[in-house]
Amino acid sequence: MSEMMTSPTPNGVELMAFRIGAQEFCVDIVSVREIRGWTPATALPHSPDFVRGVINLRGVVLPIVDLAARLGLACVEPTSRHVIIVAQVGKQIVGLLVDAVSEILTVTDDMVQPTPDVASEMAKTFVRGVLAINQRMISLIALDEILPKTLRDAA
Amino acid sequence: MSKVILTVDDSRTMRDMLNLALVEAGYRVTQAVDGLQGLEMLCAAETPDVIVTDLNMPKLDGFGFIEAVRKDARFRAIPILVLTTESDGEKKNRARQAGATGWIVKPFDSLKLVEAIRRVAA
Amino acid sequence: MDTIETIKLTFFQECEEQLAELESGLLAMNEGAADSETVNAVFRAVHSIKGGAGAFKLDDLVRFAHIFETTLDQIRIGQLPPSPEVMKVVLRTADVLADLVAAAREGDRLDEAKWLPALEECRALSDASHDAIELADFQPVRVSFDDIDAPVAPARPPRVFTIYFKPKRELYANANESVLLLRELARLGEMTVACDASALPLLGELDADGAYFAWTVELVTTRDEAEIREVFEFVEGDCDLTIEGAAIPAPAPSDVAALIRRVQAEMGAESRAPAFVQRPAPVHANAPLKLVADAAPSEGRSAAPPAKADIAKNEIAPPAATIRVEFDRVDRLINLVGELVINQAMLSQRIIEAGFANGSAVTVGLDELEQLTREIQESVMAIRAQPVKSLFQRMSRIVREVADATGKSARLKTEGESTEIDKTVVERLADPLTHLIRNAIDHGLEAPHSRAAAGKLSEGIVRLSAAHRSGRVIIEVADDGAGIDRARVRDVAIGKGLIPADAQLTDAEIDNLIFLPGFSTVSELSNISGRGVGMDVVKRSIQALGGRISIASRPGKGSTFTMSLPLTLAVLDGMVVSTSGQTLVVPLTAIVETLRPKSGDVHALGSGADVLAIRGSFVPLIDVGRALGFRTVPADPLTSVVILIETEGRARNALLVDTIQDQRQVVIKSLEANYCHVPDIAAATILGDGRVALILDVDALVARSRGDVAPADLPFAEAG
């Protein structure tokens, strides 16, 4: 697990940063297929609360994961200002509901610090490391942990 | 212009094998799936320089095909090689009586195939 | 050489086709219904497999196919009469051949114990000693021409051969050419040629097909006589040929003497026929051919038309115009057409919303587009359709094997083999069908003595049929056995706690108990019928295909399993309904009727369970919105709509929804592709408004609301 799941560029790796509430996160840009605005999802019965349902992405049935709920943060009813990051996770494509996309970061591996040892289960499970950029702390999300195991096994 | 070889075989595998070997050797290849289509190809497509035909085929077998080719003044001078898995002579002799120029024993390697064609091609 | 690999794939594909051809041909022969072309086709199938196997050095397969082919050839030429005993062996041999092909495809070698006995059995049918010679003869002999062009032993001293060669007319008749033979000889060494044209008649007497020349060739070569003879391999018997070799004395004793001798040999040859040495070719190659055209048109030309006429007469049908397309490409096309259908639906909805009047140019155009879209969709679906024939053919082997293993006598009768169904459905039917066939023989058919006692033929019949019926494919597996022993089934079900001891069940309900998970009757034979699985697995596989299975049984007469399957897995006829603000699609095949409940129709039964009174009987009422967790407050039945559905086993249930929107064909979209299986939901689709709607899994919903499915089966019981 020492190897970062990141995309090497001549100057390091590119990460897409986004915001949920007051916290900032980022994912490897290689996983990101596209960004789109929120559209109402069709609810799925018997599904965990962080699964908002499914939407039609040009003919593909795309599940939407409410990242706030997934990370155990306060979630709000999505509006048209919310953003869906369409990401490739393994063989599947998943929509991640976030508040807003902020920027593309180019960082080097050595800038990624280990996740501070905090009690939060969320931090341990989903955060691969943290970045300190201009006094901000940005958590690098491990996407392959975002879908529950039962879902990944079903793929 | 490179030479044209007409291959007549009901087995797709065999046609593909022939095609691969012949194209690699620089020949152009036309194909038919049985004797009947072979005759149609003769009339419809470019006259081949050499014909390679299987013997066991539906509709019109290799013997009938060869006989028909030899009866046609336009095609009687085209060398015909038969593909045969039998090396015992019985099939070979029947094929020769029908008018076959020569034969290739299956399984053939591509060198041997090309060599046989070279031997009979003008 | 990855192309060789592609050809190998083709070979195995072709093997499948040939094995199918073999199977159907042998079955026809077995029934005594084979004409000579069928027997030829059977022979050709094995012959082709052998040919291809040889090319890929699949030695076991070659060896086996060769013996098989020999036996079939003897049947073909009438030396071996296809008696029932012979055919039994031949059919078994065909099964083993299929096993060998399957093993070779996986890159494995089949254990010799699994095929050598069959080989010996087959060999015993034909003349064994003859085979041994032929087989040795057939072993691939690789002649490397590299060796000839670049001799490994160049040290061999050159020899001079005198080759006398006089073609007969047959040589030319077979399109061999003297000049080409001379060209080949020239490749072997240094050559001088003398042509003897003394036999050439006057031009007027010249027969275009005659052979008038003879050649004498002096060849100095390091090759041996066998290699020279090989040049004449194709014309052996079509020419007079003598080859005499003489060693050129090694140059050691006297270099000068050897040189002189050689010069003399060359001079001698040249002096004999100087005119033809350089160009013997044009004499024959040009002149006689011209004569064919000019002097002998009547013979040459008149022969041609009758030959063609014969062919035209024999022609049954033109060669089927087919192309081979990768499955992926068809799938992509189907997906795109699915998109087209959805887009067309969305466009229709927008246009209606925009308020265009019916009959306006826009709506007329839209109707045409809709019609066109549907036709495109149907045409594309038809690409994937394939007849069930290959599937049915595979079953005859199962019948033979299970009959052998159980000591029963059984015959498979098939009907409707040309019925077409989506390729995916065909593939996924193989397992359930195999199981049903096994079950029919193992559990359905009685032992021969019991059949005799019941006044039946000792040979049991298993009938496998396919037919199209109202947009679905109906596949039936029927046996003429004893039928279901209902008392026993009932006892087993009670014993296993599947039904209460005092349950009042109709005959049909008892029959359908065999589909319950955990039900299995004859345990000692489970390795044949079951392989450890029960009929519930069959039912689940059929349901997974969007199909339904039911059983009808008559004591003493036999049982019939009926499967109703969608033609394709890509589209579904559905009823679009709403509940709790959600849009759902209910598969039309499950729906019996829709109705509006009146007050007094709904009765509570126990805690939280409702039943609907309908024409004097009570059926369970399921509030779909609540069952799916979309709401917690029960719906008011009086403002709702009831959809009466029939699930597998013909049990009726009433689904309560808010409203019915319409009926339409929907394109099925997988939820599993990017998510996972969702309980109670079969799949998703995209509706005209561009939103995803879920397709209800009616059977699962009913089963779960009855409490058949434990909560642990739900995937999110321990999500995270």
Q: What is the pLDDT of residues C548-577, one digit of tens each?
A: 888 888 988 999 999 988 777 777 888 999
Contact assessment for residue C625 and residue C636, using Cβ atoms and an 8 Å cutoff: no
Please name the residue that has the structure tokens 């339409």: C664
CATH number of C147-297: 3.30.70.240
Contact assessment for residue C702 and residue C715, using Cβ atoms and an 8 Å cutoff: no
| pLDDT tens per residue, range C140-198 | 433 333 434 444 444 567 788 888 888 887 888 888 888 888 888 888 888 888 777 77
On chain B, the residues whose CB falls within 8 A of the CB of C304 are 71-74
| Positive or negative torsion for Cα A71, A94, C698, C584 | positive
The pLDDT of residue C302:
40
The winner for highest mean pLDDT among A83-87, B44-48, C381-385 is A83-87
Given a cut of 50, whether residue A155 has pLDDT beyond it is no
* Average pLDDT score over residue span C657-677: 86
Q: Test C675 with A154 for CB contact under 8 angstroms.
A: yes
- Could you tell me the pLDDT band of residue C132, with boundaries at 50, 70 and 90? very low
Nearest CA in chain B to C73: B56
- Could you tell me the pLDDT band of residue C385, with boundaries at 50, 70 and 90? confident
Angle, to 10 degrees, between the axis of helix C84-105 and the axis of helix C59-76?
Answer: 150
Number of neighbours of residue A6 by Cβ within 10 angstroms: 22
Asked if C231 is an interface residue toward chain B (Cβ–Cβ < 8 A), one would say yes
Q: CA-based angle C597:C598:C601, to the nearest 5?
A: 80
**Can you list the domains of chain A with their CATH numbers?**
8-154 (2.40.50.180)
The pLDDT of residue C624:
93
Q: How far apart are CA B20 and CA C128, in angstroms?
A: 37
On chain C, the residues whose CB falls within 8 A of the CB of B12 are 10, 13-14
Q: Compute the nearest-CA separation of C339 from chain A (Å).
A: 6
- Could you tell me the pLDDT band of residue C469, with boundaries at 50, 70 and 90? confident
Number of neighbours of residue B122 by Cβ within 10 angstroms: 15
Beta strand A92-98 with A100-107: parallel, antiparallel or unpaired? unpaired
Q: Test A154 with C690 for CB contact under 8 angstroms.
A: no
Q: How far apart are CA C699 and CA C690, in angstroms?
A: 27
| pLDDT tens per residue, range A99-148 | 999 888 888 888 888 888 776 777 778 888 899 888 888 999 988 877 76
**Can you list the domains of chain B with their CATH numbers?**
4-120 (3.40.50.2300)
Q: C675-711: buried (b, 16+ CB within 10 Å) or exposed (e) per residue?
A: bbbbbbbbbbbbbbebbbbbbbbbbbbbbbbeeebee
Q: How far apart are CA C522 and CA C555, in angstroms?
A: 18
On chain C, the residues whose CB falls within 8 A of the CB of A59 are 335, 338-339, 342, 669, 686
Given a cut of 90, whether residue C245 has pLDDT beyond it is no
Give the three-state DSSP class for C577: strand
Q: How far apart are CA C81 and CA C70, in angstroms?
A: 14
C620, two tokens: 């369970």
* Average pLDDT score over residue span B94-114: 83
B49-63, C447-461, C471-485, C662-676: which has the minimum mean pLDDT? C662-676
Asked if C697 is an interface residue toward chain A (Cβ–Cβ < 8 A), one would say no
- Could you tell me the pLDDT band of residue C622, with boundaries at 50, 70 and 90? very high
Burial class (CB in 10 A: 0-12, 13-18, 19+), C523: exposed
- Could you tell me the pLDDT band of residue A8, with boundaries at 50, 70 and 90? low
Asked if C173 is an interface residue toward chain B (Cβ–Cβ < 8 A), one would say yes
Given a cut of 70, whether residue B102 has pLDDT beyond it is yes
The pLDDT of residue A97:
94
* Distances, alpha carbon C258 to alpha carbons C90, C189, C262, C475, in Å: 67, 17, 6, 88
Q: Test C311 with B78 for CB contact under 8 angstroms.
A: no
The pLDDT of residue C127:
57
Q: Test C233 with B10 for CB contact under 8 angstroms.
A: no
| pLDDT tens per residue, range C72-104 | 888 888 888 888 888 888 888 898 899 889 888
Angle, to 10 degrees, between the axis of helix C36-55 and the axis of helix C84-105?
Answer: 30
* Distances, alpha carbon A116 to alpha carbons A67, A132, C468, C692, in Å: 21, 12, 65, 41
Q: How far apart are CA C570 and CA C554, in angstroms?
A: 36
Nearest CA in chain C to A39: C691
Q: Test B11 with C51 for CB contact under 8 angstroms.
A: yes
Q: Provide the CA B28 distance to its chain's centre, in angstroms.
A: 13
ipTM: 0.86
Three-state SS for C123-142 is: HHHCCHHHHHHHHHHHCCCC
Number of neighbours of residue C366 by Cβ within 10 angstroms: 18
On chain B, the residues whose CB falls within 8 A of the CB of C132 are none
On chain B, the residues whose CB falls within 8 A of the CB of C21 are none
Give the amino acid at C492.
V
Q: Test C715 with A150 for CB contact under 8 angstroms.
A: yes
Nearest CA in chain C to A92: C674
Q: Test C144 with B100 for CB contact under 8 angstroms.
A: no
The pLDDT of residue A118:
73
Nearest CA in chain C to A60: C669
Q: How far apart are CA C423 and CA C565, in angstroms?
A: 13
Given a cut of 50, whether residue C527 has pLDDT beyond it is no
**CATH class entry, domain C397-566:** alpha beta
Q: How far apart are CA C665 and CA C345, in angstroms?
A: 10
A107-121, C293-307, C434-448: which has the minimum mean pLDDT? C293-307
Task: Report chain C's terminal Cα–Cα distance, integer Å.
Answer: 48
On chain C, the residues whose CB falls within 8 A of the CB of A61 are 669-671, 673-675, 684, 686, 692
Residue B118: its H or E element = helix B110-120
On chain B, the residues whose CB falls within 8 A of the CB of C55 are 13-14, 17, 106-108
Q: Which of C50, C141, C289 lies at the smallest CB-CB distance from B85?
A: C50
Contact assessment for residue C232 and residue C239, using Cβ atoms and an 8 Å cutoff: yes
The pLDDT of residue B11:
86
Given a cut of 50, whether residue C380 has pLDDT beyond it is yes
Asked if B50 is an interface residue toward chain C (Cβ–Cβ < 8 A), one would say no
Nearest CA in chain A to C697: A45
The pLDDT of residue C307:
40
Model pTM score: 0.49
Q: Compute the nearest-CA separation of C628 from chain A (Å).
A: 5
Q: How far apart are CA C74 and CA C68, in angstroms?
A: 10
Q: Provide the CA A26 distance to its chain's centre, in angstroms.
A: 7
Beta strand C159-167 with B50-54: parallel, antiparallel or unpaired? unpaired
**CATH class entry, domain C571-718:** mainly beta
* Distances, alpha carbon C196 to alpha carbons A65, C243, C274, C346, in Å: 94, 17, 11, 88
Residue C122: its H or E element = helix C112-125
Residue C106: its H or E element = none
Q: Residues 37 to 96 of C: which have CB under 8 A from any B CB?
A: 37, 40-41, 43-44, 47-48, 50-52, 54-55, 57
C701, two tokens: 């919903």
pLDDT, averaged across chain C: 77
Beta strand C652-657 with C617-623: parallel, antiparallel or unpaired? parallel
Given a cut of 80, whether residue C607 has pLDDT beyond it is no
Q: How far apart are CA C476 and CA C414, in angstroms?
A: 10
Q: Compute the nearest-CA separation of A125 from chain C (Å).
A: 10
* Average pLDDT score over residue span C680-688: 87
- The answer to whether C397-566 and C571-718 have equal CATH topology is no
- Could you tell me the pLDDT band of residue C241, with boundaries at 50, 70 and 90? confident
Q: Which of C677, C693, C720 lies at the smallest CB-CB distance from A148?
A: C720
**C contact chains, 3+ CB pairs < 8 A:** A, B
The pLDDT of residue C710:
39
Q: Who wins on pLDDT, C54 or C134? A: C54
Residue C160: its H or E element = strand C159-167
**Are chains A and B in contact at 3+ CB pairs closer than 8 Å?**
no
Q: Compute the nearest-CA separation of C406 from chain B (Å).
A: 38
Give the three-state DSSP class for C486: helix
The pLDDT of residue C537:
80
CATH superfamily name and code, C2-138 = HPT domain (1.20.120.160)
Number of neighbours of residue C412 by Cβ within 10 angstroms: 22
Q: Test C691 with A56 for CB contact under 8 angstroms.
A: yes
Q: Test C716 with A40 for CB contact under 8 angstroms.
A: no
Specify whether the backbone of C649 is left (phi greater than 0), alpha (psi in -120 to 50) or beta.
left
The pLDDT of residue A24:
92
| pLDDT tens per residue, range B42-101 | 887 788 999 999 888 888 888 889 988 888 888 888 899 988 876 667 778 888 888 888
Domain ranges of chain C: 2-138, 147-297, 327-386, 397-566, 571-718
On chain C, the residues whose CB falls within 8 A of the CB of B88 are 134, 137
The pLDDT of residue C577:
95
| % of chain A with per-residue pLDDT over 70 | 87
The pLDDT of residue C81:
82
**What would the DSSP string read from start to end of C620-665?**
EEEEHHHHTTS-SSPP-GGGSEEEEEE-GGG-EEEEEESEEEEEEE
The pLDDT of residue A18:
94
Q: Residues 676 to 715 of C: which have CB under 8 A from any B CB?
A: none
C588, two tokens: 């039309």
**Are chains C and B in contact at 3+ CB pairs closer than 8 Å?**
yes
Beta bridge partners of residue A42, listed in sequence order? A54
Q: Test A61 with C677 for CB contact under 8 angstroms.
A: no
